[in-house]
Amino acid sequence: MQAMHELAKGSQITDLTEMLAKQLEKVVVITDATNRILAHYDPLDTGIEMSKFFTLKYHATKNKQYCDGQWETELGLIDYVYFPIKVEGKSYGNCIVLCSSEEMAIEQLKLIEQMSLVYLLALREILQNDAARERVSDEIVYDILYNNYDSKVALYEKAKHLHWDMEGPYAILVVETKEDKINTVRKAGPLKFNSSSPIHTIVNEKVVFILSLTNIISKNIEDTIDGFVKKLLSNLASNHIKDVHIGISSTAKALTDLHQCFQEAKIALELGKVFNLGKINHFEKMGFLKFVFTASAQELQEFEERILGNIIVHDLELEADLLDTLKVYIEQNCHIANTAKAKYIHENTLRNRLKKIEQLVNLDLSRIDHLVNIYIALQILALDFYDGS
């Protein structure tokens, strides 16, 4: 009842947590539905350090009101009991008490159960406020990302109103993951980057982070961004999200150049997926690949067919494996022994195949200019099989 009064008087979730922790005489942590820590209070001064997320290990217990688990810390394993704060069909967060379930008295359990309702109301308000703030910010971010504004002055005014750091340069990070995890990825972004809060939004099932690079010298930019990505991935791992692809743009001097960076980050992400370049892809490191697909698609296809057409036809007619052999040979840096090993064939078989390939494509595999053509044709072929889904 007292907590309800406190909430009505305008007390924050941190005040409520302090009140509960003092009454329980235990460490209390409140998280939202994405396990982000919103408040914690340690009445015992245990010195346990909290990060941004509390990784819950879900356990079903006989008692449906609460579950228990163990938290791995530098001080060793710590028992905890957590109470889901939810209504039917929607979870708002968790109330976590650092102790084992045996240490909880019946009165304490009852107290937490009563407090859950107060937390539910407080968390709902936080959620609504966050959503309203994000709606306003998303509108402006969208206009920036798609160059969709009439006046630069008005744009800067809006940005100023939202307390954004308007000094460039900037970089953009685009994160793609499963659709149902998108909101969690947005919330998992580190709170600070280069001593300011990164601007974030969701556009077409991708999370976009706008990072201000003010006062970072150019040779340190990449390392600083990588540090941000590392923290982000660590936060995502706390939420059991591992399947992500990240595209990172080059730098933009001003807010009004960000639309180009946004496209670069998306292209880096897409090319990384097409060419299996790994989870994290910097646009600036894409080399010639970033130029390849900006040529006329018709010309690219004709180039690819001219170089590889005969091999593809040969493979289809004789059910042979020359195209894949060539791919692996290029992947293995033209190393005969490694290619033979990767293809599970004898080196002499490989040499015969390479001879056949040279005859079919009418190119010399020992010449760098011919190899470059073959490499580009293979990359275009990889683009062909990518349907964007």
Partner 1 sequence: MTLRQRGFLFDPNRCLGCRTCIMACAANKNLPVGMYFRTIENQEQKIGNLILKYYLSTSCNHCNNPECFRLCPKKALKKRKDGIVLHDPLKCDGCGTCTRSCPFEAPVINNITGKMIKCDLCHEKIDEGKQPACIAACPVKALQLINIDEIDSQADDIVRRLPGVIKIQITRPAMRYKKLKIGSQALRNSVADNLEQGELKYKDDQV
Cross-sheet strand order for the sheet of 90-97: 37-41, 28-32, 90-97, 76-87, 67-73
Asked if residue 378 binds partner 1 (CB under 8 A), the reply is no
Least distance (Å) between residue 89 CB and partner 1:
21
**Contacting range for partner 1; rule: CB under 8 A; set: 92-100, 104-112, 123-131, 197-205:** 197-205
Least distance (Å) between residue 244 CB and partner 1:
19
**Contacting range for partner 1; rule: CB under 8 A; set: 12-20, 31-39, 214-222, 292-300:** 292-300
Least distance (Å) between residue 349 CB and partner 1:
31
Report the residue number, 230 or 386, with the smaller CB distance to partner 1: 386
- Beta carbons of 113 and 63 less than 8 angstroms apart: no
Least distance (Å) between residue 174 CB and partner 1:
10
Fill in the DSSP letter of residue 279.
Answer: S
Asked if residue 213 binds partner 1 (CB under 8 A), the reply is no
Least distance (Å) between residue 57 CB and partner 1:
32
Upstream peptide bond of 43 is cis (omega within 30 degrees of 0):
no
Asked if residue 218 binds partner 1 (CB under 8 A), the reply is no
The single residue listed with the structure tokens 């509960």 is 20
Least distance (Å) between residue 238 CB and partner 1:
25
- Beta carbons of 326 and 311 less than 8 angstroms apart: yes
- Helix or strand (DSSP H, E) at 175: strand 170-176
Rounded CA-CA distance 173/210 in Å is: 7
- Beta carbons of 112 and 23 less than 8 angstroms apart: no
What are 59's strand-pairing partners?
none
Report the residue number, 10 or 388, with the smaller CB distance to partner 1: 388
* Cβ contacts of 307 within 8 Å, gap of 6 or more: 361, 363, 373, 374, 377
Asked if residue 376 binds partner 1 (CB under 8 A), the reply is no
Asked if residue 243 binds partner 1 (CB under 8 A), the reply is no
The single residue listed with the structure tokens 């006329």 is 296
What are 68's strand-pairing partners?
81
One of 202, 320, 365, 376 touching partner 1 (CB under 8 A): 202
Report the residue number, 122 or 286, with the smaller CB distance to partner 1: 286
**Applying CB under 8 A, what is the total number of residues that bind partner 1?**
38
Report the residue number, 52 or 314, with the smaller CB distance to partner 1: 314
Least distance (Å) between residue 352 CB and partner 1:
30
> Within a 13 Å sphere around the CA of 285, how many CA atoms are in the beta-carbon half?
10
DSSP 192-259: -BTTBPPEEEEETTEEEEEEE-TT--HHHHHHHHHHHHHHHHHHHHHTT----EEEE---BSSGGGHH
Report the residue number, 286 or 328, with the smaller CB distance to partner 1: 286
Phi-psi region of 388 (alpha: psi -120 to 50; beta: other; left: phi over 0): left
Least distance (Å) between residue 136 CB and partner 1:
11
- Which 148-177 positions form the footprint of partner 1 (CB under 8 A)? 148
What are 210's strand-pairing partners?
172, 199
Q: Report angle CA 123, 129, 132 to the nearest 5 degrees.
A: 140
One of 37, 203, 312, 345 touching partner 1 (CB under 8 A): 203
Fill in the DSSP letter of residue 171.
Answer: E
Asked if residue 288 binds partner 1 (CB under 8 A), the reply is no
Least distance (Å) between residue 181 CB and partner 1:
15
One of 300, 350, 354, 361 touching partner 1 (CB under 8 A): 300
Chain Cα centroid distance, residue 261: 17
Residues of the shown chain interacting with partner 1 in the complex, contacts defined by CB under 8 A:
135, 138-139, 142, 146-148, 201-205, 256-257, 259-260, 263-264, 266-267, 270-271, 274, 293-298, 300-301, 380, 383-384, 386-389
